[in-house]
């Protein structure tokens, strides 16, 4: 006899003496208060009904439970809390089996680990990603996981927030069986629940396996280094350590206390801000919905013009997404070099065990190399990825216009050039947009989707869809010099150059900003990317530069001496065997001192905090200008771009989030002082635009 009962977010039905408890909280079945209340009610039904022998816990739709409801984390806790729900499962006299599909992440995996057994569909992703949000698992994840995996496996899984597939979970004894077909999942879970014959199998009753203490210590050290000693990583290691030395209830209480402390910490607030900003960034602008349904173009074949580092990176990303790729170069030698880069990439993936030889071969079979322009006519999207020179790109687009099929989306991969000036070389500017990939394109997640003056909405929607298809995080912005990222980075770099003239050495600036959390300092970054790239851009802008503006020519003079960065063995720093000398040498210091003297500046050492605040204020000011000018559509988009493309520390949230944490009056006072330092041409933004939620 089958019966069914409804709850707001949980539906139950009984079949063959098993209560099937289905979570219905779209889109990801987050373990919200309503879900937790429904689960408690279902468990009461299970206990009270003598005809029910066991239960199966399953998620409706495309996933099990992909985490807790993060919107609750900044609010007072709403009972029942997840630990109480899991405790009720463990205290229930009848076994509960979790049926996993889609994702079982964070609170979802903790919920599953509280059950008596777990059956997973092949391809299900599991993980405890809480540290990436500045917190730790707070419902027993650090206690139950190591009881099955051991601490050596648990440390990287928890401290890096790694996601892993069901096949790996089976090896780790986190799931009891894996089924191939979704249709079989519930039936297999019901059968497994009946096979338990009323026996409880609580992970909490197991012991953490004994392992080599030296290996555990090494794993902890590696986790701390990788996690930059962030509070969440430190707390996670402490909680994992407790699992092996304290009684379960005491260790879980300590875990929960650490979770409660961390969830309102500055790092957690910043990381949650980015979490929501990342999801908002991928959504189409509200005005698109007002204009009716916007349908992206179909995506089957991508043409990439240019087989250099960027072009082949884009091609690799597209092949990895299952697209057909036409790679075009102007001569056979350049094309062969590009093909070899792609082949080397796949060989490396196979040798690393990331792909099978068959998978690598299948991907490369979807690649067509050509030197003939008519071959791009089959492409749905054509991406130009040639040298960053306006005249060169305009010439390429004239060829694309002649040979791309009508209705194809035409994209320029440019870092800062005028998309409209490129579009005007075609007879169809409405089909043109910018797609600013970040290098290496097959690795970096950020993609700026640039709206030109004439870009059609369906073309932009196709750019966003392509970004998602490639596994990128696409951020829509309007056409302006440098778009979002390079525009802000340019203001940041310029301010750092001012600080060289004012009294800092390159290593002072780099060290202060790395201590703040930037992945690299600006002068080390410049050396890595090559000083001649910025030099070439500066020379192109020289004719339009206002001579009254403060301009630092230190980089120009370095390039004139052949110091182009790492590739030449010297730039702001010198390099031996690829290693950077930690301090600038006498040549660089003499150039900097001369620049200060020509400016009439008496050099004074700058404290690290001054360096950090001036750099951050310059970024925040440029962010305010971008928002006011409509280049950035949302304040959160700016933080997403800086965190994903420019090494801004995620735990600081981005320049907009940073500005929101400051005292507004202090910001205004400091901005006035910065304007005086920068001199003629500095445009002060209205920082209040950043402070609006």
Catalytic residues: 110, 130
326, 304, 452, 301: which is closest to 385 by C-alpha? Answer: 304
Burial class of residue 209 in the structure, from the number of CB atoms within 10 Å of its CB (0-12 exposed, 13-18 middle, 19+ buried): middle
675, 668, 682, 686: which is closest to 625 by C-alpha? Answer: 686
**Is residue 196 within 8 Å of 116, Cβ to Cβ?**
yes
Q: What angle do CA 312, 317, 320 make, to 5 degrees?
A: 120
Residue 176, H or E segment: none
125-127 vs 163-165, strand pairing mode: antiparallel
103-105 vs 125-127, strand pairing mode: parallel
Residue 315, H or E segment: helix 309-320
650, 355, 642: which is closest to 517 by C-alpha? Answer: 650
- DSSP assignment of 535-556 equals HHHHHHHGGGS-TTS----HHH
SS3 382: strand
Dist. CA 514–CA 512, nearest whole Å: 6
Dist. CA 462–CA 285, nearest whole Å: 14
Burial class of residue 8 in the structure, from the number of CB atoms within 10 Å of its CB (0-12 exposed, 13-18 middle, 19+ buried): middle
């Amino acid at each position: 006899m089958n019966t069914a009962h409804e709850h707001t977010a949980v539906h139950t039905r009984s079949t063959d003496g098993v209560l099937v408890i289905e979570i219905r909280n779209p889109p990801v079945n987050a373990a919200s208060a309503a879900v937790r209340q429904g689960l408690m009610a279902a468990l009461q039904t299970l206990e009270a009904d003598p005809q029910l022998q066991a239960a199966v816990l399953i998620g409706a739709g495309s996933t099990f439970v992909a985490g807790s409801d993060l919107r609750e984390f900044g609010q007072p806790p709403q009972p029942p809390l997840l630990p109480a729900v899991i405790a009720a499962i463990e205290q229930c006299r009848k076994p509960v089996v979790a049926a996993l599909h889609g994702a079982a992440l964070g609170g979802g995996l903790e919920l599953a680990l509280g059950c008596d057994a777990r059956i997973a569909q092949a391809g299900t992703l599991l993980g405890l990603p809480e540290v990436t949000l500045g917190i730790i698992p707070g419902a027993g994840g650090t206690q139950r996981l190591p009881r099955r995996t051991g601490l050596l496996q648990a440390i990287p899984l928890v401290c890096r927030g790694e996601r892993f597939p069901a096949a790996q979970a089976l090896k780790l004894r986190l799931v009891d069986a894996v089924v191939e077909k979704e249709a079989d999942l519930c039936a297999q879970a019901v059968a497994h629940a009946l096979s338990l014959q009323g026996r409880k199998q609580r992970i909490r009753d197991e012991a953490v396996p004994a392992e080599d203490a030296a290996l555990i210590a090494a794993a902890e050290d590696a986790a701390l280094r990788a996690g930059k000693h962030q509070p969440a990583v430190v707390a996670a290691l402490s909680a994992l350590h407790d699992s092996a030395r304290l009684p379960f209830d005491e260790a879980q209480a300590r875990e929960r206390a650490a979770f409660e402390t961390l969830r309102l910490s500055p790092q957690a607030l910043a990381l949650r801000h980015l979490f929501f900003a990342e999801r908002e960034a991928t959504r189409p602008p509200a005005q698109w919905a007002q204009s009716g349904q916007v349908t992206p173009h179909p995506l089957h074949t991508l043409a990439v013009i240019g087989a250099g580092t960027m072009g082949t990176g884009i091609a690799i990303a597209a092949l990895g997404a299952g697209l057909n790729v036409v790679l075009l170069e102007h001569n056979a030698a350049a094309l062969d070099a590009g093909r070899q880069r792609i082949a080397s990439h796949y060989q490396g993936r196979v040798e690393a065990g990331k792909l099978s030889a068959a998978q690598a071969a299948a991907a490369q079979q979807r690649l067509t190399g050509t030197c003939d322009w008519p071959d791009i006519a089959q492409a749905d999207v054509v991406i130009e990825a040639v040298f960053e020179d306006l005249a060169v790109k305009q010439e390429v687009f004239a060829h694309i216009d002649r040979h791309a099929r009508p209705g194809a989306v035409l994209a320029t991969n440019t870092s800062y050039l005028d998309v409209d000036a490129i579009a005007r070389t075609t007879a169809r500017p409405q089909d043109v947009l910018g797609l600013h990939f970040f290098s290496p394109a097959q690795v970096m997640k950020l993609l700026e989707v640039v709206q030109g003056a004439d870009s059609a909405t369906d073309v932009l929607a196709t750019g966003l869809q392509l970004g998602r298809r490639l596994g990128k995080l696409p951020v829509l912005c309007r056409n302006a010099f440098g778009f979002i990222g390079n525009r802000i980075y340019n203001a940041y770099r310029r301010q750092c150059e001012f600080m060289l003239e004012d009294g800092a050495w390159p290593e002072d600036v780099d060290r202060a900003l790395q201590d703040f959390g930037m992945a690299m300092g600006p002068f080390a970054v410049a050396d890595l990317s090559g000083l001649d790239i910025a030099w070439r851009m500066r020379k192109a802008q020289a004719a339009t530069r206002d001579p009254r503006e403060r301009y630092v020519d230190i980089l120009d003079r370095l390039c004139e001496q052949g110091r182009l960065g790492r590739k030449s063995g010297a730039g702001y720093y010198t390099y031996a065997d690829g290693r950077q000398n930690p301090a600038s040498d006498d040549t660089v210091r003499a150039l900097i001192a001369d620049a200060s003297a020509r400016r009439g500046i008496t050099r004074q050492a700058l404290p690290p905090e001054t360096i950090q605040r001036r750099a951050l204020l310059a970024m925040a000011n440029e962010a305010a200008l971008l928002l006011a000018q409509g280049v950035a559509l949302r304040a959160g988009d700016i933080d997403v771009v800086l965190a994903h493309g420019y090494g801004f520390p995620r735990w600081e949230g981005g320049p907009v989030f940073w500005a929101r944490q400051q005292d507004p009056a202090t910001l205004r006072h400091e901005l006035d002082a910065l304007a005086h330092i920068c001199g003629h041409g500095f445009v002060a933004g209205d920082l209040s635009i950043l402070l609006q939620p």
